[in-house]
Amino acid sequence: MNSYAEKPSKGNILIVDDALNNLNLLSAILHEENYHVRKATSGQMALATCNVELPDLILLDVMMPDIDGYKVCQQLKANPNTQTIPVIFISALDDALDKVKAFEVGGVDYITKPFQISEVLARVENQLMIQRLHNQLMEQNQQLLDLNSNLEKLVQQKTQQLIEQEKTALIGRLTQGIVHNFKNPLQTIMICSDLLELKIRRDTDFEYEEINRDIKIAAIEIQQIMDNLLIKSVSDRQLSLSLLNLNQVIEQEFTLLNANLHFKHRINKKYKLDENLPAIPLIYSHISQVIHNLINNALDAMWDCKVQELTACTHQDESYIYLEIHDTGCGIPLEDISQIFDPFYTSKPAKGSEKQLGEPTGTGLGLYTCIELLKPFGGKIKVNSKVGQGSQFIVSFPKANPSGSFS
Ligand SMILES: Nc1ncnc2c1ncn2[C@@H]1O[C@H](COP(=O)(O)OP(=O)(O)O)[C@@H](O)[C@H]1O
Ligand SMILES: [Mg+2]
């Protein structure tokens, strides 16, 4: 067996030269050095050979009868399949202009005849090394891009999970408030019922009418809470577009939050609603979640403030409808404002690591969720805030909905 056959090839080289003696000489030199060599005696043949199998490097004669080396090189560089193959020109012309042209058409090096064997080998090896390093870099770059896209997918998944957790937490807080608020009217009904029992047994002088009125008030209170809950749960499941009046959604959210006793009694609530606000196409559960998140942030910001005032405003101009939630809370330092919409940015402690009783906790997903939920409707959020005075979150909706996909 030929001993060369067992040595691995150092590279696949195409030599293009119409002078056969040159072609054979170069071929023999490179073959001796364990390169796999293919030969072409014209420019056309060189291009056809590349179509069959891509070489790692091309040694290209400049002066050839059909198409010259420059044109061959131009065609190779114009073809995405062959454009990265390094081309070394070989020519008897030792002229500065020709060398410039060789580089202009995409050549990487230039060898002039007569050449020394060691020079040819050094230049070939040099270019192959550059090519190998380039390929390695491209591969590593691709690996990095793949890794990056995997990482982005992971972050998206994780973010989605946390958004779901945030929603569940919201429902939890709501339920807690509702249960709390049911206790009062229920207590009243139970006491009244005990009194009635007593009255019936002992036939004492109790006021039937007064007791009956208290039972009714309590029952109506429970009825109202349940009605609100039912409307909300139906609307929340509605994931299609409907024409909504933001004033009504705001009022609904405030009424629901009244289930929370702190909200009901401690927060001074104000409305500045534009009665002529036109209805716009929105998804109820999305917009109600946005309002909820903004209100929750406002409540968090005011939790240890003396003045706790929450204002909901709506207004409009020619092109936009605005919804605003104002609070008299701690405000946001100027240097933090650019970050508050980033996912996971929070200035609040994580659940379980509060330093004071009742201190609000955060995940940093509330505002990010708002931005995501508003996007399909062309909705945007802006914020004005002063430390120690409070914040105003302003949501704007274009009157002409940009999203044709919803119409
Ligand atoms: N009304 C507000 N007043 C003061 N700071 C606010 C207000 N709304 C948001 N922020 C700031 O923006 C941060 C991010 O809010 P958000 O995305 O809802 O996450 P979280 O409420 O879980 O911290 C909050 O931690 C807070 O620092
Ligand atoms: Mg929040």
DSSP 39-61: EESSHHHHHHHHHHS--SEEEEE
Can you tell me which atom of ligand 1 is nearest the CA of 327?
1
Helices 20-32, 117-202: axis angle to 10 degrees equals 60
| Cα–Cα distance measured from residue 270 to residue 171, given in angstroms and rounded to the nearest whole number | 24
Other C-beta atoms closer than 10 Å to the C-beta of 371 total 15
Q: What are phi and psi of 114, to 5 degrees?
A: -75, 140
pLDDT tens by residue, 164-176: 776 666 666 666 6
| Cα–Cα distance measured from residue 194 to residue 197, given in angstroms and rounded to the nearest whole number | 5
pLDDT of the residue at 398? 94
Position 130 pLDDT exceeds 60: yes
Q: Tell whether ligand 1 has an atom less than 6 A from the beta carbon of residue 340.
A: yes
Whose atoms come closest to the Cα of 367: which ligand?
1
Q: Tell whether ligand 1 has an atom less than 6 A from the beta carbon of residue 343.
A: no
pLDDT band of residue 237 (cuts 50, 70, 90) is low
Ligand 2 center to 166 CA (angstroms): 9
pLDDT tens by residue, 79-93: 999 999 999 999 876
Ligand 1 center to 347 CA (angstroms): 7
Cα 287 from chain centroid (whole Å): 20
Position 383 pLDDT exceeds 70: yes
Please give the structure tokens belonging to residue 236: 């929340």
Position 177 pLDDT exceeds 80: no
Ligand 2 center to 2 CA (angstroms): 76
Position 404 pLDDT exceeds 50: no
pLDDT of the residue at 407? 37
| Spatial CA neighbour of 291 closest among 263, 253, 262, 330 | 253
Other C-beta atoms closer than 10 Å to the C-beta of 244 total 17
Position 4 pLDDT exceeds 50: no
What number of CA atoms fall less than 13 Å from residue 21's CA on the CB side?
2
Q: Tell whether ligand 1 has an atom less than 6 A from the beta carbon of residue 163.
A: no
Q: Report percent pLDDT > 70 for the chain.
A: 85
pLDDT band of residue 280 (cuts 50, 70, 90) is very high
Q: What are phi and psi of 279, to 5 degrees?
A: -75, 145
Domains of the chain: 9-115 (3.40.50.2300), 238-406 (3.30.565.10)
Please give the structure tokens belonging to residue 29: 């030199």
pLDDT of the residue at 3? 46
Q: Tell whether ligand 1 has an atom less than 6 A from the beta carbon of residue 364.
A: yes
Q: Tell whether ligand 1 has an atom less than 6 A from the beta carbon of residue 401.
A: no
CA distances to 75, 105, 138, 193, 322 from 96, in Å: 23, 15, 33, 111, 70
Mean pLDDT of 371-399: 94
DSSP string, 278-322: PPEEEEHHHHHHHHHHHHHHHHHHTTT-S--EEEEEEEE-SSEEE
Where is average pLDDT lowest: 71-80, 156-165, 347-356? 156-165
Position 268 pLDDT exceeds 90: yes
Q: Tell whether ligand 1 has an atom less than 6 A from the beta carbon of residue 332.
A: yes
